[in-house]
Amino acid sequence: MARPEQALLLEPQHELKFRVAILSSFFTGPFSDVVTTNLKLSNPTDRNVCFKVKTTAPRRYCVRPNSGIIDAGTSINVSVMLQPFDYDPNEKSKHKFMVQSMLAPPDMTDMEGVWKEAKPEDLMDSKLRCVFEMPVENEKTHDMESNKMMSSSLLKSESSSLQTKSMSSTLDDGEVKKIMEECKRLQMEAQRLREENKQIREDDGLRMRKSNMMSSQHSPVSMKKEEGLSARTVALIMLFFVVGVIVGKLVL
């Protein structure tokens, strides 16, 4: 006997996509962080529906909630979290999910008991396969966004440079005249300082020449005085020598 058609509406209907973040894949490899996708279950019937979410790789996923009751006319969001693992391309075909459901009895008190006592013809199921979107696809999108950001920054820099040029070109004649006068005043001040420095050097040279001339005029006089003193000293010595000879002869 064929199973009844699924009473719940699934969104998405056939695939659960797990998209890897570009930064995580670039630094530490794919699926190094938890990747979450959402599964929406809606109950369009007029009865409450029990559901269970099962997977062929229970160690790879964390499902919250993985079972429960959906009231008539309401919906619920199921978070499917892929846990970090070493990705194997050959393993992706083994990851599948199944949403199993059945109409809840009116007087249900124990949901686990109802599942155990359920007949195969009462169960409804829908299967979904897992799709892993690898970093290569995300890198293209990331590169496009980076190019857009770079182009926008270049446009901003060009516009700012154009604004600067336009601001500089808007200087009026009065400001230009003030700047020219200030430059001329500074040039005149520099010329005056150069002339003062030159005059100081000339005055210092003149004083040095005068002092040299005065020292050269005094030197011959002192030499003559020294020569006169030395001659007198020799004469006195000779005089004392002669006197001493004469005195010595008289004593003898």
79 is written with which tokens? 């978070």
Beta strand pairing status for 124-133 and 96-103? Answer: antiparallel
pLDDT tens digit at each of 252 positions of the chain: 567 889 999 999 999 998 876 544 444 456 678 899 999 999 999 999 999 999 998 988 999 999 999 999 999 999 999 988 777 777 767 889 999 999 999 888 888 999 999 998 899 999 999 988 876 544 444 455 555 565 566 566 655 555 555 544 455 667 767 777 777 777 787 777 878 878 887 877 777 777 777 766 655 555 555 555 566 676 677 767 766 666 665 555
How far is C-alpha 92 from the chain's CA centre?
38
Whole-angstrom Cα distance, residue 95 to residue 132? 10
Q: Hey, is 74 helix, strand or coil?
A: coil
Whole-angstrom CA distances from 68 to 45, 76, 227 are 16, 10, 137
Type of residue found at 22: I
**Residue closest to 106 by CA, chosen among 167, 179, 185, 47:** 47
For 171-216, give the DSSP string: --HHHHHHHHHHHHHHHHHHHHHHHHHHHHHHHHHHHHHHHHHHHH
Report pTM.
Answer: 0.51
